Structure 1
Amino acid sequence: MVDDEQAWVIADLEGNEVCLPLGPTGILGREAETEDWRDMGCGLACYPTASIRESVDLAATVADLADDTGKALMVDVRPGAVVLDSGKDQQETEDFANDERFMELARRIQAAARGMGLTAEPAPRLRFLQIAIDAVEVPAVRAFWMAVLGYRHGPYERLLQDIYDPRRLNPVVWFQQVDAKDEARWAQRNRIHFDLYVPRDQVQARIDAATAAGGRVASDAHAPAWWTVADPEGNEVDLRPGRVGR
């Protein structure tokens, strides 16, 4: 476990790491009108609900407010809660206080939710997960993962290392610049890999896209169950055909 004053880095028994950033407890930390929201790489708020009807009502209200404000927002509707997410890739700045449209939307959503008798829950359902891949040549490695995952490049200057799922269903992937001479860092590589399921008739097209972007087929020993494809620096993904109905 390492504390660098900005994050805790915790490793499992075999050295695989997870980084827990030490972020602020609120978007502004001082504005009561947005205290239901948390800054966790993106703006997040969670409102437990008593029924699916209550969840749907809140989601509809949030959608109307987002349309009115002109600010996109992801809404995860569950029987027991509604989680609201600004999306890291949709934020032009890390300083939410400078994003007036989002701040106005956050204020209006909080007021509406409280008007419905809902109380925000800061934990344990609030979390933001992103996956980091070490890379020496970030552009080359990033191009491979965009092709194989079907992701897009981060749209803003501060997100140049990021790629994201255009459907916003899967985690953001970002690329951590490392030194090729850092032998200790490289000794940890390829202990974790991705499993990517795609429709059976799309597997070859995805392999072709990945290799055209600089990757290679590392193994086809288990084909047609799966193919292992590697990026230019050896990080691997297993491409697996999805099962069809019987």
Structure 2
Amino acid sequence: MTVQITAGRFHAADGVEDWRSLYHVVSAYFRTGTLALGIALVNEIGRLVGEAEQQYLNVDLRYAGVTVSLSRRDIALARRISAAAKALHIPADPTAVQLINITLDALVGADVLPFWRALLGYHQIGDDYLADPARRGPSFGLQPMEEARPERNRMHLDVAVPHDQAEARITAALAAGGRLVSEAHAPMWWVLADAEGNEACVATWVGRE
């Protein structure tokens, strides 16, 4: 049986300072600056993983850096990946870690989810969630509402950021013309809106578990 651990327990472990919890995974961004150095890090990650089965492992190689996401239970692997990056003189940048989720308020989720599943080409998880099978695009989820709200937008972005970056992200959004709609659920999430009232949530793991 797979044993999951809480975000708090993960962050209390030694040697995981490069990593940040985002919902049910932990991620680290390693700023390589060149594709060749990124490939070297990815090759090292492949060597570390070998044939061992991982509950969750996602590696995103880009020219400027490498994003690695793991299950929270893989503390030992997180330590080894950080050590490999350090050996290659590749710094971690926790400020670049985030996950984006699109959320749609729906009166009858079963009526609208098939449309979005077909349109996006996503896989369905449960009754209210869609995920990109290639893990390239943002996830898509439904949020139930009891009655139509024509005066308010029904789709918003959920931006999951590291717990120690939420304040800076919110401050930057407010300085860029946004406004704070609600902080009733902080520090789990804050609701912000742009100058025209389009909403987004800034979310962290803090307070969830």
TM category (shorter chain) comes to: 0.5 to 0.7
* Selected match of 2:151 from 183, 187, 191: 187
Q: Which amino acid aligns with 1:174?
A: G
SS in 2 for 1:179: coil
The one of 144, 167, 177 aligned to 2:115? 144
Q: Secondary structure at the match of 2:142?
A: strand
**RMSD, aligned α-carbons:** 2.5
Amino acid at match of 1:74: N
- Counterpart of 1:32, as a letter, is D
Please tell me the residue identity of whatever aligns with 1:145. W
Equivalent positions of 1:1-246 (< 5 A) are: 28-41=10-23, 42-71=25-54, 72-86=56-70, 96=72, 99=73, 102-123=74-95, 125-154=96-125, 160-180=127-147, 183=148, 185-189=149-153
Q: For this pair of structures, how many residues does the alignment match?
A: 148
The C-alpha deviation readout for 1:148-195, integer Å capped at 9, x for no partner, is: 2111012xxxx6532111111111001111112xx5x34324688xxx
Rounded to whole Å, the distance in 1 between the matches of 2:154 and 2:109 is: 17
CA distance in 2, matches of 1:27, 1:53: 35
Q: Cα distance 1:117–1:160, how it changes in 2: closer, same or farther (>3 A)? A: farther
CA distance change for structure 1 residues 30 and 191 in 2, over 3 Å: closer, same or farther?
closer
Q: Using the aligned pairs only, state the percent identity.
A: 27
Gap runs ≥5 in structure 2: 1-6, 157-209
Give the conservation status (yes or no) of the 8 Å contact 1:27–1:34.
no
- In structure 2, relative to structure 1, the CA distance for the partners of 1:190 and 1:117 (3 Å cut) is closer
Q: Which one has more relative contact order, counting CA pairs under 8 Å at least 6 apart?
A: 2
Q: Tell whether the 8 Å contact from 1:55 to 1:77 is kept in structure 2 after alignment.
A: yes
Write the distance in 2 (CA, Å) between the matches of 1:45 and 1:191: 28
List runs of 5+ in structure 1 lacking aligned partners.
1-23, 193-246
CA contact (8 A) 1:27 1:35 kept: no
TM norm structure 2: 0.61
Runs of 4+ in 1 over 6 A off after TM superposition: none
